[in-house]
Amino acid sequence: MTQGLSKDQVLEQTRQEMTQAVVALRHELSRVRTGRASTALLEGLMVNCYGTKTPLKQVAGLAAPETRLMVVTPYDKSLLGEIEKAILASDLGLTPVNDGKIIRVPIPELSEERRRELVKHVRKIAEEFRVSVRNHRRDANEKLRELHKEKRLSEDELRGAEAKIQQSTTEQIAKIDQVLAAKEAEIMQV
């Protein structure tokens, strides 16, 4: 059911959903390790904070003072051990150094093989987001056909709206490809 949506509302809603997919891809790729220090790598880690899983960024300050070093400064020093455990348990392959006050997280140089694995991984992520954009296109086209069935949209309006949806899809997939190309270049840069 189109629940009283107009053609323009369907087009706008779809455009926004597709744009959100590109924003989400950028966020997702910011968490992929590239051999450079980025606090985004650690932000999502969950730390056992007094029996409750809490995001690291809520229990500690994160900084990247150098290109190959991150510094984690806990707000409560008693959480140093838990933060260290969370970093070690993550799939990031990082080894934290705890000095009793802060945790230093050196970022090792990536090997050529690891770089290629990361490129495959980011391509897979990008494809998932392309599929997401195509799913939004499919859903929008179904809503438009429903409007046509309800006689709220003529055949010409339906074709025009479907063309606009396809144009948005093409634009957003091109943006996904640009984001992917930039991330691949960043990963392969030595």
**Please, what CATH class does the domain formed by 7-31+111-188 belong to?**
mainly alpha
**Tokens representing residue 120 in the block:** 């495959």
Sign, CA dihedral 190-36-68-109, equals negative
Model-level pTM?
0.71
- In the chain, the DSSP E strands lie at 46-49, 52-55, 60-66, 69-74, 97-98, 103-106
Bridge partners for 69 per DSSP: 66, 106
Query: Is the pLDDT score of 35 beyond 70?
Result: no
Mean pLDDT of 12-31: 92
Given a contact cutoff of 8 angstroms between Cβ atoms, the answer to whether 16 and 161 are in contact is no
Q: Tell me the pLDDT tens digit for each residue of 146-175.
A: 999 999 989 999 999 999 999 999 999 999
Q: What percentage of the chain has pLDDT greater than the value 90? A: 56
CATH number given to 40-106 = 3.30.1360.40
Same fold, 7-31+111-188 and 40-106: no
Please, are residues 43 and 13 in contact by the beta-carbon 8 Å criterion?
Answer: no
Is residue 34 over pLDDT 80?
no
pLDDT at 190: 63
Q: Where are the domains of the chain?
A: 7-31+111-188, 40-106
Q: What is the mean pLDDT of residues 89-105?
A: 87
